[in-house]
Structure 1
Amino acid sequence: MATITDEILLCFICLISFFFIQSLLKRKEKLRSDFKRPPSPPALPIIGHLHHLSPVIHQSFHRLAQLYGPLMRLHIGASTMIVVSSASSARDILKIHESLFSSRLTFGMEDYNIYEGHSFTTAEYGPYWRFMKRLCMSKLMSASQLDRFMDVRREEMKKLLESLAKSSKESSAVDLGAELTTMTNNVLSRMVMSTRCSDGYNEAEVCRNLVLKCIEFAGKLSMAEILGTFIKKFDLFGHGRKLVKSMERFDKFVESIMEIHEERMKSSAGNTKDMMDILLEVHHDQNSATKLTRKGIKNFVLEMFIAGVETSSKALQWATAELISNPIVFDKLREEIVSLVGTTRLVQESDIPNLPYLQAVVKEALRLHAPAPLILRKCTEDCKINGFDILKDTRILVNAYSVMRDPLHGKNQTSLCHRDS
């Protein structure tokens, strides 16, 4: 009992010491007369600006930005970050000064990530990042590769429509969100590893569940890091250990899938290759300038599922909701489709270039409901943005939710735009 009490006391002393040192550093920063920091809301001791935030964090940032400007400094626990909320400021960071903000910001999981150093999405700009980008553009996500999976997308869409038609005929309720999630997961799984998520117990469903566990524990670690990096390193709640175990199970599972694909590649010379086949070909290529490791393949699969588990489904749900809420837009879209496609067949992907209003509706829905509303970056050098000083290693959060609602770029930016023609 005494040992536990001593450990709690030690943690408390470390916590107080950390915030004391942090306050000294902030005071030293204030003494620089030439240093101009972005504005900041009133803060409370220890928690900083945490009390200003709601569960929908990007909307909280948007509300605060309307009061404190497009560049805003926030302290949340031990973390300091700059929130970017205007199109012009986002352009400065993501385009004009891209080289200074090319480093991807990661929260929480790097100390417990068994694939650390093999990530593409969070890799530093360099040979490996360029190699993976070239691989994605030329092979994994090239136009020809996406065309090969056109039948996959068509089949899954047909299955969705058949399911909805059956429910309508039976007058039974439908969870459209669940149906759209199933469809998008099936498309992604078939593109990555040639198996569906909804055919009972199978590889894709197991993979998806393991990815969801990794997302859950990584998110909890991110919340721990907000209170201080050293608190995360103590792993007081065990989320780090749970993340490692989940990733190890994922690693073992994907290794078995890779072995199956390798055996299939030896016995078959089929032309239809999924992403796993392409990644394994690059892995076994002895002439490749940059080596793609097995860990690199597994991490790529993990990142593909993390990016695609909910994003596409949520985008489709929001687009549907916007059309239902805007009957004028809905009717005009239907008129365009009927006039160009007719009523005897489904819309095909090849029809999309000839459907400009459909494209506009999709873009508007994505503008209002970005699948990833926060873009994370890290400053690599001291610099000035909009006249404010940004220090090296500062965390940058570009709030796409606010950027897409920038009033300087048009009126009525908070709803689906419609223009009579």
Structure 2
Amino acid sequence: MAAMITVDFQNSFAFILFCLFSLLCYSLFFRKAKGSRAGRDLPPSPPSFPVIGHLHLLLSVLVHKSFQKISSKYGPLLLLRIFHVPIVLTSSASVAYEIFRAQDVNVSSRGHPPVEESLWFGSSNFFFAPYGDYFKFMRKLIATKLLGPQALDRSRKIRADELDRFYRNLLDKAMKKESVEIGEEAAKLNNNIICKMIMGRSCSEKNGEAERVRGLVIESLALSPKIFLGMIFHKPLKKLGISLFQKDIKSVSPKFDELLEKFLVEHEEKMEEDHYKANDMMDLLLEAYGDENAEYKITRNHIKSLFVELLVAGTDTSALATQWTMAELINNPTILERLREEIESVVGNTRLIQETDLSNLPYLQSVVKEGLRLHPPASISVRMSQERCELGGFYIPEKTLLVVNTYAIMRDPNFWEDPEEFKPERFITSSRSEQEDEIREEVLKYIPFSAGRRGCPGSNLAYVSLGIAIGVMVQCFDWRIKGEKVNMSETAGTIMLAMAQPLKCTPVPRTLNLLPSSLHIPSS
């Protein structure tokens, strides 16, 4: 599945010529030069091509690695220019600390949405919402009703039920000696969990609903590189009346709209029934939509856009992380065996691992963290400075796009011993101690879900989902692959970190007895 998330920028010559002409016009008629202010210097800029500047870095096969390479050669804080559009790139843990801590409010914007009218990365989008009333209202609702610690406790049984279904499906394939694609199975698990948490039911496999949703998720993620380029060129091209990749980005919106309108109508009909009590996120959003006195008056498109964001972010990103981590475990049998021993000592062999076990499984937690360190689902994090500021001692103009290379920061040899190796034991020390060290040193070296006000609100759910999925696969099955090692190459042409060859292996049951999901699962 993940291999499908590919965009070929190698054949984008027409795009380059188009941008060249458009931005030359813009630079001649609209652009005013910006330099340093009051004697303060801008960040250093590495050598670039005439006119196009550093565009070649964005069109490279692996953008995050191109950024990592140029940062290691010219410095951890750089000013890039794509034609005349400035971008500040950092691969520094200390600058990341400044961005996400000292400048958090100033950079609590991701810039302009590439298109206005789209459920995916449009003007109704929570991801692109400016830091204001709507963003605060939605983030509060997400934290208290869906993804915060107490909300996750209330939805625990949903994940237990879906984990049991995940285990039974793998066991069925194992008994038939069928191979499975780890990413695809993990995506199904995460899709069902997210759908049940948001709208009270999973998408049906029988009528093709689930397959349709997963297809839309893949199609949406494939647009990520185009969305990134659309963000960069939105402002200059808007002056010329041009919207980059508008047709491509908007194409997925009506497909989602048709499906989501069906879900909304279904919920509205249920809400009209006597004695009906709101019990999922969509119910609460529809109540807010119909409440004239609501804290913020949301629209129907706000609800649909949020559903799309939660579905896309919660389904495939976790699936990618699960796939990478399992590949690392298969390639490191000693680590896999140590993890299995921990699970057996805590959980035993009479029931499945549950998320209530995770706090007693520090090595499993470390495995999950190490997998995310080496293979963060999103390799870069994007912000925009609303006001001029200073980073790393350099002047940053207002409305400048900031790109944080999280991939490079989490492989920086200045902060990580043997940074390219899979070593979960590096996280065995207490998380409180790590946080205290980062605060004292003023660095942010571990940011798989970004940080600050715009950090991923679903990070708690992601850690839980990864922990239980990897835990079950290690506890219940051995895994056979073709060859001696899993190929760890990355897919080219995408911002999302996907495997070039999806992890396909054959599960072998470690016991023929069907393990119960739990002796008792509270339905809190």
Scaled by the length of structure 2, the TM-score of the pair is: 0.70
- Where structure 1 has 5 or more consecutive residues not aligned to the other structure, the ranges are 1-8
* Residue equivalent to 1:42: 47
| Inter-CA distance 373–299: structure 2 relative to 1 (3 Å threshold) | same
* Residue equivalent to 1:133: 139
Separation (CA, whole Å) in 2 of partners of 1:92 and 1:13: 37
Contact 1:186–1:198 under 8 Å retained in 2: no
Residue 58 (structure 1) shift: 1.3
Q: Secondary structure in 2 aligned to 1:125? A: coil
Contact 2:199–2:282 under 8 Å retained in 1: yes
- Please, which moves more after superposition, 262-271 or 60-69? 262-271
Q: What per-residue deviation string (whole Å, max 9, x for no partner) do you get for residues 251-287 of structure 1?
A: 3432232121011122164567222112112223344
Q: Which amino acid aligns with 1:153?
A: R
Separation (CA, whole Å) in 2 of partners of 1:104 and 1:318: 27
Q: What per-residue deviation string (whole Å, max 9, x for no partner) do you get for residues 321-359 of structure 1?
A: 121222232222111111111111111111111111111
Q: Which amino acid aligns with 1:51?
A: H
* Residue equivalent to 1:313: 319
Separation (CA, whole Å) in 2 of partners of 1:39 and 1:221: 27
Work out which structure has the larger RCO, using CA pairs closer than 8 Å and 6 or more positions apart in sequence: 2
* Residue equivalent to 2:25: 17
Separation (CA, whole Å) in 2 of partners of 1:35 and 1:66: 24
* Residue equivalent to 1:397: 403
Q: Relative to total residues, which structure has the larger helix share, 1 or 2?
A: 1
* Residue equivalent to 1:165: 171
| Inter-CA distance 205–366: structure 2 relative to 1 (3 Å threshold) | same
* Residue equivalent to 1:5: none
Q: Secondary structure in 2 aligned to 1:156? A: helix
1:330 is aligned, of 327, 330, 336, to: 336
For the pair 1:294 / 2:306, whether they are aligned, the reply is no
* Residue equivalent to 1:415: 421
* Residue equivalent to 1:87: 93
| Inter-CA distance 78–160: structure 2 relative to 1 (3 Å threshold) | farther
Contact 1:81–1:397 under 8 Å retained in 2: yes
* Residue equivalent to 2:110: 104
| Inter-CA distance 271–169: structure 2 relative to 1 (3 Å threshold) | same
Q: Which amino acid aligns with 1:50?
A: L
| Inter-CA distance 104–340: structure 2 relative to 1 (3 Å threshold) | same
Separation (CA, whole Å) in 1 of partners of 2:350 and 2:172: 19
- Please, which moves more after superposition, 89-98 or 369-378? 369-378
Residue 124 (structure 1) shift: 1.8
- Please, which moves more after superposition, 299-308 or 157-166? 157-166
Residue 245 (structure 1) shift: 5.0
Q: Which amino acid aligns with 1:45?
A: P
Give the total of aligned pairs. Answer: 409
Residue 159 (structure 1) shift: 2.4
- Please, which moves more after superposition, 239-248 or 325-334? 239-248
Q: Which amino acid aligns with 2:55?
A: L
| Inter-CA distance 123–57: structure 2 relative to 1 (3 Å threshold) | same
| Inter-CA distance 318–91: structure 2 relative to 1 (3 Å threshold) | same
Residue 320 (structure 1) shift: 0.7
| Inter-CA distance 219–368: structure 2 relative to 1 (3 Å threshold) | closer
Residue 44 (structure 1) shift: 0.7
Contact 2:270–2:276 under 8 Å retained in 1: no
Matches within 5 A, 1:380-395: 380-395=386-401
Separation (CA, whole Å) in 2 of partners of 1:99 and 1:223: 24
Residue 407 (structure 1) shift: 2.6
Residue 393 (structure 1) shift: 0.4
- Where structure 2 has 5 or more consecutive residues not aligned to the other structure, the ranges are 1-16, 429-524
Separation (CA, whole Å) in 1 of partners of 2:152 and 2:276: 17
* Residue equivalent to 2:447: none
Q: What per-residue deviation string (whole Å, max 9, x for no partner) do you get for residues 186-209 of structure 1?
A: 222222223434613354544444
For the pair 1:353 / 2:359, whether they are aligned, the reply is yes
Q: Secondary structure in 1 aligned to 2:272? A: helix
Q: What per-residue deviation string (whole Å, max 9, x for no partner) do you get for residues 289-332 of structure 1?
A: 22222221111112112312310100111111121222232222
For the pair 1:118 / 2:124, whether they are aligned, the reply is yes
* Residue equivalent to 1:362: 368
Q: Which amino acid aligns with 1:298?
A: K
Separation (CA, whole Å) in 1 of partners of 2:358 and 2:252: 41
Give the share of equivalent positions with the same residue, in percent: 37
Contact 1:36–1:388 under 8 Å retained in 2: yes
For the pair 1:71 / 2:77, whether they are aligned, the reply is yes
Contact 1:109–1:222 under 8 Å retained in 2: no
Separation (CA, whole Å) in 2 of partners of 1:226 and 1:171: 48
Separation (CA, whole Å) in 2 of partners of 1:199 and 1:230: 45
| Inter-CA distance 269–375: structure 2 relative to 1 (3 Å threshold) | farther
Q: Secondary structure in 1 aligned to 2:100? A: helix
Separation (CA, whole Å) in 2 of partners of 1:10 and 1:321: 41
Q: What per-residue deviation string (whole Å, max 9, x for no partner) do you get for residues 36-56 of structure 1?
A: 121222111232223345322
For the pair 1:376 / 2:391, whether they are aligned, the reply is no
Q: What per-residue deviation string (whole Å, max 9, x for no partner) do you get for residues 147-188 of structure 1?
A: 333232222222222222222222222222221122212222
| Inter-CA distance 217–339: structure 2 relative to 1 (3 Å threshold) | closer
Contact 1:78–1:226 under 8 Å retained in 2: no
Q: Which amino acid aligns with 1:74?
A: L
Residue 396 (structure 1) shift: 0.3
Residue 10 (structure 1) shift: 11
Contact 1:108–1:218 under 8 Å retained in 2: no
Contact 1:221–1:240 under 8 Å retained in 2: no
Separation (CA, whole Å) in 2 of partners of 1:83 and 1:276: 38
Q: What per-residue deviation string (whole Å, max 9, x for no partner) do you get for residues 68-109 of structure 1?
A: 211111123443211111111100011012122122234523
Q: What per-residue deviation string (whole Å, max 9, x for no partner) do you get for residues 90-141 of structure 1?
A: 0001101212212223452347669854332222222222222221222232
| Inter-CA distance 345–176: structure 2 relative to 1 (3 Å threshold) | same
| Inter-CA distance 13–47: structure 2 relative to 1 (3 Å threshold) | closer
* Residue equivalent to 1:3: none
- What is the RMSD of the two structures over their aligned residues, measured on CA atoms? 3.1
| Inter-CA distance 68–55: structure 2 relative to 1 (3 Å threshold) | same
Separation (CA, whole Å) in 2 of partners of 1:208 and 1:254: 14
